[in-house]
Amino acid sequence: MLRRSLSRLCAGEEKRVGTRTVVVGHRPVLETDAYVAQKFCDNRIVSSKYTLWNFLPKNLFEQFRRIANFYFLIIFLVQVIVDTPTSPVTSGLPLFFVITVTAIKQGYEDWLRHRADNEVNKSNVFIVENAKQVQKESEKIKVGDIVEVKADETFPCDLIFLASSSIDGTCYVTTASLDGESNFKTHYAVRDTTVLCTDEAIDALTATIECEQPQPDLYKFVGRIIIYRSNQEPIARSLGPENLLLKGATLKNTKKIYGVAVYTGMETKMALNYQGKSQKRSAVEKSINAFLIVYLCILLSKATVCTTLKYVWQSNPFNDEPWYNEKTKKERETFKVLRMFTDFLSFMVLFNFIIPVSMYVTVEMQKFLGSFFISWDKEMYDEEIKEGALVNTSDLNEELGQVEYVFTDKTGTLTENSMEFIECCIDGHKYKDCISEVDGFSQTDGPLKYGKAEKSREELFLRALCLCHTVQIKEADQVDGLIGHPERKYTYISSSPDEIALVKGAEKYGFTFLGLENDFMKIRNQTNETEMYQLLHVLNFDPVRRRMSVIVRTTTGKLLLFCKGADSSIFPRVQQEEIQQTKVHVDRNAMDGYRTLCVAFKELTQKEYDKIDRQLNEAKMALQDREEKMAKVFEDTEADMHLIGATAVEDRLQEQSAETIEALHAAGMKVWVLTGDKMETAKSTCYACRLFQTSTELLELTAKTVGESERKEDRLHELLMEYHKKLIQDIPKNRGGLKRSWTLCQEYGLIIDGSTLSLILNPSQDSSSSNYKNIFLQICLKCTAVLCCRMAPLQKAQIVRMVKNTKGSPITLSIGDGANDVSMILEAHVGIGIKGKEGRQASRNSDYAVPKFKHLRKLLLAHGHLYYVRIAHLVQYFFYKNLCFILPQFLYQFFCGFSQQPLYDAAYLTMYNICFTSLPILAYSLLEQHINIDTLTSDPQLYMKVSDNAMLQWKPFLYWTFLGAFEGLVFFFGVYFLFQNSSLEDNGKVFGNWTFGTIVFTVLVFTVTLKLALDTRFWTWMNHFVIWGSLAFYVFFSFFWGGVIWPFLKQQRMYFVFAHMLTSVSTWLAIILLIFISLFPEILLIVLKNIKEKNHQVTKHLPSSGTSTIFMLSQTSSNHSFSWSE
């Protein structure tokens, strides 16, 4: 009993063996049980981080892992334990505020997760028990239960599909919530259980399922079902992903299905995919940490100086123990080193406000609230998909303003991914226009071939297009016989837009695919007759093979294999003499930027088919290495084929993708295109979207230039050395010191393909090629644009990692729209997904998602630029205002015998960062636009001004630090000189030390707030409200705090101090004068800058002298003539 309850608590912790055995419906197999029943986790989904019991300890632990929070905790404890000059409240309250705000935010987010979990866990499901339907909560489902799901319901766990309301045992499913693909996918019931479509029939089933242990890949599943029947041999059938219905997917167009639960709760594929992405950190955070260390050093040095000078001062007995303040016996007897240590700690506490604890919470709020501006941006809203931009990670907003390298996918990112059938070629004849019965549909193609192919070859080709695919038909109306009408009353659905384009292309030429029924594919041919083909096997497409095949049987009993795929994977598998005539067309189409596929076939004898059938079934039944075994059978089957022809499909460029790439180039970013497409197709797309200009000199490292011989590594070495010499050794060093100066000289572009890349990244052991990678990298970094074609998804990530880890760690951005781009999106500093037609996996795994590639321009040039400027200003301002705050406190120690006497009242110490100066900078960091958004978008070169973390370098940091030090000195000594006249009141009374501190504090609050007002370029009502409101609140609070006798205070040292202080005219004059002196250098700088900008604009608009104009013209024209002759 105890063990069972323990195993239920530790859901999913059971020992993972290679496979698991599931008993369908918990009906024991008739033979004696030979296996031990395995324990599985329940069907609860837990996506939350905290529970009611562990929220406090866990959340506090996570927050105190932050260095600033931990530091303030230590200071607070020191204040509690040691007799320090300031109250523990001064550091405890700001820390408590920061911790509470963060805990509330995280607690609320987790509460939302709990609520979502409960909705799923408490939803009702129907389970078949004892031939009856029983309603249960979803979390009560156990592995082995038979579950009934009705139309438009989501699957409560991962089920093996046993039977459905449709006779052929199929059902349609959408997996939008899993991978974002909204198209319908067809799933198939186990062949021998399709007839069991009532509660009684399904309950009578005796079977076991053996399958692999849970793993996160949505598209992989390996298992087998063994069905037991009385007095008969058990039947074994293989199970694959087509038999598995995933939790989170929705049943469509099918009344009901029965399935058996195989994975539940946290072991479902959906839950295993719910992994938090690796935490990406922005460059700004690294700068903050560096600045913190500097300020920590300042703090330590201040405390050390004061402690040392205190003991120097006390070496004089009169200073050490004046007659009015004699030491107690205990004080005399304490150990001197211990006394020095406690003094050091006391000074640390006194000056600790130089470290801004509230900066972290302000930065968090700025990032969180700032990210809404991206989602609210109307220009990034797409009418077609009715969606706007989406922010998945608000931690990286400012990183968008620092990007140096952009890696983009081609299909669906630069192009529309809406395919249109353009033309095809059959046996070397080009066919472009629609077919007519008289003359076929051939067209002459220059010097290539006249006439047309034989009629039988044309028909064979079109049948291949109609049969070799996984397209499904979705009828517009559930009425039989509509398909027969000439106008189409149905739509094609498929996971790939290419396939639909090819089926529609065949329809244009008279062959129409009518759908799949009971394993028979129906086609209507040119003479309006319906042909039937029995579908025996589908050899599915995969990115490694880059092709797919079907095996069909005609009504006359002929066995045919049709195969379509990329030319690189088809050409080696057909008769060599057939290639040349088709290759000419394929190359020409690729040059025009079309996507090409080759089509081949072969006839099988019964004997050959039986062998293939046996091997395929054996491979399908394997539980271990099923993929490898299947791949081997596919390899053997798809050999010695005959080439029939090729197709060309156009994928149009997305609107404004060329303008976007030009803008990114102008902003100093390097754009790399990483695609799985053919080199020629990709190259023409790159010219079309202006990645390569007509003047760009292209360097190629492809299978064509390297060659296929044994010497390819030597040839690669030669090419690398040649390009290296051309780009690095022969180009004179840039003296101008201009950032990203490659935009000035001759532009180079590099083209590399997957096979050459693997030679460079994974060289063979014996070759002397360990430095290939470095040479290749140097060449890449010198090129304006790089095109990598024929890339596997993992190679895309390798390239991003290679650039990311180069010297200087440039900020990288990856943008893509398909599942094959996820690896590079996760690898780059900033990952952007496009909400495209290839599903939503990319946008789910990205940091930001946008509807179209063109939106990248505004996201980087406007939003990124502004976010960076705002947060950089926020960070510098926080350090500056805290230095202004603490420097007078440090200087005060020289005038009070280093007695650790605080200059400011405890209330002021506590409220300075929380109330008096926090809101103006938060409003600034959310709303500031130092340059208009339209100007930023239209002038990309402005982006370069803030590149390379320009505003958080040591130079601006030192400027802000000196400014803070200057103002701190003005505040303190200005008030000090005011106090040289001892009686500041008419009646000759003298102001005390609390008045001194309050005057300094008043000047401080007004100066740092007005400094921010001077920096603000974009005023809104909110800026006015928080800036003037903060100052008014300070004045109101000071009157209120000093105007009431507070019962909880031991000493009323601030009683009427503020009100009394303002009765003196000298004080008013001093406050105004000191604010002006503090801000004078800043005002002077602004005036000079404005004069300089005005002069610059005037000279820009003046017409230059005649000679220089003529010279400019001649230069321009000569440049043009040079580029054209190139």
- Decide: residue 544, CB within 10 A, 0-12 exposed, 13-18 middle, 19+ buried: exposed
What is the rounded distance in angstroms from the CA atom of residue 20 to the CA atom of residue 623? 11
What is the rounded distance in angstroms from the CA atom of residue 966 to the CA atom of residue 951? 21
Dig out the tokens for 1029 from the structure.
């409101």
What is the rounded distance in angstroms from the CA atom of residue 179 to the CA atom of residue 174? 10
What is the rounded distance in angstroms from the CA atom of residue 225 to the CA atom of residue 215? 19
Alpha-carbon separation of residue 44 from 8, 23, 133, 176, 612 (angstroms): 11, 21, 21, 22, 43
Q: Where are the beta strands (DSSP E) in 605-660?
A: 642-653
What is the rounded distance in angstroms from the CA atom of residue 619 to the CA atom of residue 631? 9
What is the rounded distance in angstroms from the CA atom of residue 529 to the CA atom of residue 518? 19
So which residues are the catalytic ones? 409
Dig out the tokens for 988 from the structure.
């000759």
Residues 6+ apart with CB under 8 A from 952: 283, 284, 287, 872, 875, 876
Q: Number of C-alpha atoms within 13 angstroms, CB side, residue 689?
A: 35
Yes or no: say if 393 and 843 are a contact pair by the CB < 8 Å rule. Answer: no
Alpha-carbon separation of residue 1030 from 917, 924, 1041, 1077 (angstroms): 7, 13, 16, 22
Alpha-helical regions (H) of 639-678 = 657-666
Q: Where are the beta strands (DSSP E) in 323-397?
A: 390-391
* Tokens 């394929």 -> residue: 586
Yes or no: say if 436 and 845 are a contact pair by the CB < 8 Å rule. Answer: no
For the chain, how many residues are written? Answer: 1126
Yes or no: say if 803 and 811 are a contact pair by the CB < 8 Å rule. Answer: no
Yes or no: say if 601 and 622 are a contact pair by the CB < 8 Å rule. Answer: no
- Decide: residue 606, CB within 10 A, 0-12 exposed, 13-18 middle, 19+ buried: exposed
What is the rounded distance in angstroms from the CA atom of residue 832 to the CA atom of residue 858? 13
Yes or no: say if 803 and 773 are a contact pair by the CB < 8 Å rule. Answer: no
Q: What are phi and psi of 521, to 5 degrees?
A: -95, 135
Provide the terminal-to-terminal Cα distance of the chain, rounded to the nearest Å. 84
What is the rounded distance in angstroms from the CA atom of residue 764 to the CA atom of residue 1035? 75
- Cα 240 off chain centre by: 31
What is the rounded distance in angstroms from the CA atom of residue 418 to the CA atom of residue 425? 21
Residue 430, strand partner residues: 425, 443
- DSSP code string of 905-952: -HHHHHHIIIIISHHHHHHHHHH--SS-HHHHHH-GGGGGGGTTTGGG
C-beta neighbour count of 315 within 10 angstroms: 8
Dig out the tokens for 166 from the structure.
């449709």
Dig out the tokens for 649 from the structure.
């499909």
Residues 6+ apart with CB under 8 A from 992: 1057
Residues 6+ apart with CB under 8 A from 92: 76, 79
C-beta neighbour count of 695 within 10 angstroms: 13
Residue 601, strand partner residues: 562, 642
- Decide: residue 1, CB within 10 A, 0-12 exposed, 13-18 middle, 19+ buried: exposed
